[in-house]
Structures are given as structure tokens and as C-alpha cells.
Homo-oligomer: A and B are copies of this chain.
């Protein structure tokens, strides 16, 4: 699946910035920060273009954003197999600081106070990844 094909599938124009970001995210096994996506060519695009492109890709559902408890934001390609009602979970390794999307379906046994209705759950697991263990 080429970057161009993915963009066409989502009815998005095949622009340089979109192709670049998508390519970097596809190459990576982990979720990347804005800074990390840019590392190979830091000034290839204006910061504004970068933010707008990330938002376009996110709104279209090509990628998704992950906000960690340390306030850093990361992005990863969305895999089509995920359903809206699935739990959106990520693993944050506190040694190498990498973030992984957790593919396995996690089930939660939540006790909410009366009257509270659950829509979506986002979960961040902190710990040590296989490589750092």
C-alpha cells in the first residue's frame, strides 16, 4: 500500500506534506512527536502547514493523535480494523520513552457512578517495553 493510494482511498489530495508525514509515520513502529516526524528534514515545511496537515489527516481518520500525561502529543497511523467502541490504548515506555499502539482488544470492567454513561475510553499504560526489559 503506497502513501498515494492511502491518500486516494481517503479522498485526499496527494500533496508533498501529506505524503511526507504519512510516509514517516508508516515507517515507524511507534507513535511519533511532531519533532520526530520532522527529524530527517526539519525545515522542509512551515510549522503552520505541518499542524494543518496533521489536523487534516486526523480529521479524515488516516492518523490519530495521542496526548500523554506528560503533555506531549504523538501521532500514529490508524489501522482500519479498529472500531469506534474499541478502547483506544497506548503503551508508554518510561525507559526509552517510546509510545506503542496496543493492538489487542482490551476489555474493561468499569464501575461508573450512577447516571454516568460511557462513550469512549482512552487508556495509557505506562511501563517498560520488551526492548528495554
Nearest residue (CB) in B for A133 is: B115
A111 beta carbon closer than 8 Å to chain B? yes
Q: How far is the CB of A113 from chain B (nearest CB, A)?
A: 7
Query: Which candidate, A8-16, A19-27, A42-50, A64-72, is the interface stretch facing chain B?
Result: A64-72
Give chain A's interface residue range (CB within 8 Å of chain B).
Answer: 35 or more
> Which residues, 91 to 133 on A, are CB-close (under 8 Å) to B?
91, 94, 100, 102-131, 133
12 contacts between A and B (CB under 8 A): A66-B69, A67-B71, A69-B122, A71-B71, A100-B113, A102-B110, A103-B113, A106-B110, A107-B109, A116-B128, A118-B125, A123-B123
Contacting residues, chain B, for A121 (C-beta < 8 A): 123-126
